[in-house]
Structure 1
Amino acid sequence: MRQQRYACVTGASRGIGAAIALRLARAGYNLTLHYNSSVQEAEEVAKRCGTEGAEVTLVRADLTAPDGAEQLYGQLLQAPDVLVLNAGLSAYGMVQDVTTEEWEKMMNVHVRAPFFCARLALPHMVRRRFGRIITVSSIWGLTGASFEVLYSTAKGAVISFTKALAKEVAPSGITVNCIAPGLIRTEMMTGAFNEEELAAIVEEIPAGRMGTPEEIAALAAFLAGDEAGYINGQIISPNGAWYC
């Protein structure tokens, strides 16, 4: 029988993070679910995961703060075997309008927090000679987007971080892979664009639709498992052939 494994998912209160949490619960993982401000949503996700048999701990931490990773890890009851670095913010606007505060928050949540969360997770993974680190970037981290230069910059850094870290920790039995989704129907998307704007984007996607959080969660669950042990340092972009 496989030893019980623990997963930590950041940004787990809604959207892709919530879907990943539920999928991992169904796969038999016990969970630490991170959130920042969405208390009720996080509690609901934890409840749903609990009905799947998972032991669930909720942890609140502000990953836009410089010490966000330390806030998170200071509350963990169990070091994770699987770390899903999903927390993030969106930003839309001209590059000239980006403020220093916006820059710092974006880089903290997308770059600094994943870097230091992974660093804090690695000693346990190295001791066990097993670990799965899954980062979540974006299609814009691959190809860039006008009016989303700040967001694209941060998500591009996530991709480089993933590739470099994978090479460093692969000898210890640890994999580091990145999911870079295209247009996924989440609150982040529906909050940033109206239905007419979303429909215009969908017209550019060969698949003719947006993806779902559950489709991203299925990929994350596979990357977390034993069968994905030789997949390492890869950037996988589920995007309906929008960008390939």
Structure 2
Amino acid sequence: MDYTKTVVITGASKGIGKATAIAFAQEGYHVLINFNKSEKDAVALYDNLKEKKCSVQRFKADVSKRKEVDNMISFCISQFGSIDILINNAGICQEKLFTDITDDDWDQMINTNLKSAFFCTQAALKYMLPQKKGKIINISSIWGMVGGSCEVHYSAAKAGLIGLTKALAKELGPSNIQVNCIAPGIIQTDMLSSHHQEQLNILRENTPLMKLGSPDDIARCAFFLASHHADFITGQIISPNGGFVI
């Protein structure tokens, strides 16, 4: 394989991040797998891709902390020499009545889902701007588009990513850097682990395509946005959601 481009994926040990890391690694990209708490999953993914002769590295960093983000990006440059694509995927979710959300709940949600993208993007741009090229892909949610009951802080953080995407795309366009956002619908990941089968069936029935999405559905979308086929696409919110939100 011709390893010519590097992608950094935050929260890459499980779910959408894992599927995205696999997709890029198998297509010949250098891949930096970021993780924080899920070290066992990150090591398993790293070992699996290494066995397949993929060019991967892993790095533990809490991406809600600037110093750890800066260290991660520096490590990426030392290992691969560049950063061409940044995928801000790290995120958490929580269902809670708005009146029950604590200060800590709010801060943790905003820091993990939104502030992390601020830190990672600023760090990556130190290298993207001088080379006058790069792609930034933010992973939001349909709830960032339309709001989710009992997920106000999650919806607010994901809506923030959408605003960040649109504004930054305008700012970075003259530097030939594309910024886009993926807003997944109901995807079968650990974030659905608290849902009972009856709830999942209702979500499926409310999706026009009559099925839930898979992490691979989102990974394929990210891979397209990172490719040269998407060079004229920027500031867009693409929502693979099976018709759940139209």
Give the structure-1-normalised TM-score: 0.94
Q: Which residue of 1 aligns with 2:57?
A: 57
Q: Which residue of 1 aligns with 2:209?
A: 207
Q: Which residue of 2 aligns with 1:229?
A: 231
Contact 2:65 2:119 in 1 (8 A): no
**Quick one: which amino acid aligns to residue 42 of structure 1?**
A
Q: Which residue of 2 aligns with 1:126?
A: 129
Count of residue pairs the alignment pairs up: 243
Contact 1:32 1:59 in 2 (8 A): yes
Contact 1:204 1:242 in 2 (8 A): yes
Distance change in 2, residues 1:100/1:72 (3 Å)? farther
Distance change in 2, residues 1:120/1:66 (3 Å)? closer
| Structure 1 segment 134-153 matched on structure 2, within 5 A | 134-153=137-156
1:86 matched to 2:85? The reply is no
Q: Give 1:47 deviation, angstroms.
A: 2.2
Task: Supply the distance in 2 between the matched residues of 1:56 and 1:3 (Cα, whole angstroms).
Answer: 11
Q: Give 1:24 deviation, angstroms.
A: 0.4
Task: Supply the distance in 1 between the matched residues of 2:95 and 2:62 (Cα, whole angstroms).
Answer: 21
Q: Give 1:45 deviation, angstroms.
A: 1.4
Contact 2:28 2:55 in 1 (8 A): no
Q: Which residue of 2 aligns with 1:186?
A: 189
Q: Residues 153-183 of structure 1: CA distance to partner in whole angstroms, max 9, x if unpaired?
A: 0000000000111111111111010000000
Q: Give 1:48 deviation, angstroms.
A: 2.7
Task: Supply the distance in 1 between the matched residues of 2:219 and 2:48 (Cα, whole angstroms).
Answer: 15
**Where do 4+ consecutive residues of structure 1 move more than 2 Å?**
47-54, 63-79
Q: Which residue of 2 aligns with 1:28?
A: 28
Identify unmatched segments of 5+ residues in structure 2: none
Give the structure-2-normalised TM-score: 0.93
Contact 2:165 2:180 in 1 (8 A): yes
Q: Residues 53-84 of structure 1: CA distance to partner in whole angstroms, max 9, x if unpaired?
A: 32211111123446553353354334411101
Identify unmatched segments of 5+ residues in structure 1: none
Task: Supply the distance in 2 between the matched residues of 1:65 and 1:17 (Cα, whole angstroms).
Answer: 19
Task: Supply the distance in 2 between the matched residues of 1:164 and 1:238 (Cα, whole angstroms).
Answer: 22
Q: What RMSD over aligned residues (CA atoms) do the two structures have, in Å?
A: 1.7
Q: Residues 64-111 of structure 1: CA distance to partner in whole angstroms, max 9, x if unpaired?
A: 446553353354334411101000000101011111111111111111
Q: Which moved more, 1:126-135 or 1:84-93?
A: 126-135
1:177 matched to 2:180? The reply is yes
Q: Which moved more, 1:63-72 or 1:12-21?
A: 63-72
